């Protein structure tokens, strides 16, 4: 009986989850995890073909695909018009990070583009779905950010900046929306085997004059768990925060990084 109750605490039956960046990596893994837990999932990303592949891998039914480029304000506005007709309970704010590079060398144009994708689009989407969450006295907003929220990462200057802004946005919302039964939390992935990881590894190898094997060996030496994370492990953390089991967790940063972050 006790185990059965524990399983129910991690179910999402009757909930609709909006998962951005759902065409690959962490977003796709979260979509699969949520569908297995009983949620109807709305998959959002730029690549409709890849979204279709993820859709076919989901369990259950009533899932949808909406192709949208979060970097385009007009496209986000159109997306929000569609979302207003949906009773969305869970919002996964997730998108690919800005390109790498030092902060001092970053061009001004990199900042508005990053803020549009990671903060402004998320805010616009939240405002579209928030009335439904408040009406149902239930909501989950989960931002997939980075451990740079706790400790800036070298050569990810623009990413460090915008991730910090989204973290503060999230913490502010957690206080404002908590009374309505809505929680707002951040998941901070460490090194995770995704396309983004492979891109950063290649860029780092080029910058350092090392092979990618050498770079990965260096990174592994910084991780107490001694391995690179898998997208499914991030998805499990998201399921906890989205489920009834995580209902009293609000306004936190949850690193999922094998212990790499050098701080509490």
The CATH code of the domain that includes 21 is 3.40.50.720
CA distance 150 to 186: 11
What total of structural domains would you count in the chain?
1
Give residue 98's pLDDT: 80
Give residue 4's pLDDT: 53
| pLDDT tens digits along 131-170 | 999 999 999 999 999 999 999 988 899 999 999 999 999 9
CA distance 239 to 33: 7
Query: 3-class DSSP state for residue 99?
Result: coil
Give residue 198's pLDDT: 94
The verdict on residue 180 lying in a domain is yes
Residue 7 has pLDDT above 80, yes or no: no
The verdict on residue 203 lying in a domain is no
The verdict on residue 211 lying in a domain is no
CA distance 28 to 22: 4
| pLDDT tens digits along 201-231 | 998 999 899 999 999 999 999 999 999 999 9
The verdict on residue 131 lying in a domain is yes
The verdict on residue 245 lying in a domain is yes
* Whole-number average pLDDT of the chain: 94
Question: Which residues span the domain enclosing 252?
Answer: 2-192+230-256
Residue 51 has pLDDT above 80, yes or no: yes
> Which residue blocks in the chain are alpha helix, DSSP H?
2-8, 25-36, 48-56, 73-83, 110-115, 121-136, 157-177, 195-208, 212-220, 231-242
The verdict on residue 63 lying in a domain is yes
Q: What is the mean pLDDT of residues 169-173?
A: 98
Q: Which of 27-31, 39-43, 76-80, 259-263 has the lowest mean pLDDT?
A: 259-263
pLDDT band at 44 (very low <50, low <70, confident <90, very high): very high
Q: Beta strand 253-256 with 139-144: parallel, antiparallel or unpaired? A: unpaired
Residue 1 has pLDDT above 50, yes or no: no
The verdict on residue 127 lying in a domain is yes
The residues facing 31 across adjacent strands are none
pTM of the entire structure? 0.94
The verdict on residue 205 lying in a domain is no
Q: Would you say 106 and 148 are in contact if contact means Cβ atoms under 8 Å apart?
A: no
Query: Running DSSP on this structure, what letter comes out for residue 101?
Result: B
pLDDT band at 2 (very low <50, low <70, confident <90, very high): low
């Amino acid at each position: 009986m006790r185990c059965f109750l524990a399983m129910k605490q991690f179910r999402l039956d009757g909930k609709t989850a909006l998962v951005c960046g759902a065409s690959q990596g962490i977003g796709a893994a979260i979509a699969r995890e949520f569908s297995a837990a009983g949620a109807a999932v709305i998959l959002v990303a730029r690549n409709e073909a890849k979204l279709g592949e993820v859709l076919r891998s989901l369990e259950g039914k009533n899932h949808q695909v909406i192709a949208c480029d979060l970097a385009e304000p007009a496209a986000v506005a159109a997306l929000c018009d569609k979302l207003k007709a949906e009773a969305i309970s869970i919002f996964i704010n997730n998108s690919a990070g800005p390109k790498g590079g030092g902060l001092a060398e970053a061009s001004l144009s990199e900042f508005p583009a990053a803020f549009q994708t990671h903060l402004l689009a998320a805010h616009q989407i939240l405002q579209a779905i928030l009335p439904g969450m408040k009406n149902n006295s239930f909501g989950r907003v989960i931002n997939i950010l980075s451990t740079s929220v706790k400790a800036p990462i070298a050569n990810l200057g623009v990413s460090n900046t915008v991730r910090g802004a989204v973290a503060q946005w999230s913490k502010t919302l957690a206080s404002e929306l908590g009374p309505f039964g809505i929680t707002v939390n951040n998941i901070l992935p460490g090194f995770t085997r995704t396309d983004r990881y492979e891109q950063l590894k290649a860029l780092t190898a080029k910058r350092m004059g090392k092979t990618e094997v050498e770079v990965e060996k260096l990174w592994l030496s910084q991780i107490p768990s001694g391995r690179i994370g898998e997208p499914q492990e991030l998805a499990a953390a998201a399921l906890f925060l989205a489920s009834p089991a995580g209902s009293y967790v609000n306004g936190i940063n949850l690193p999922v990084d094998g212990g790499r972050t050098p701080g509490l």
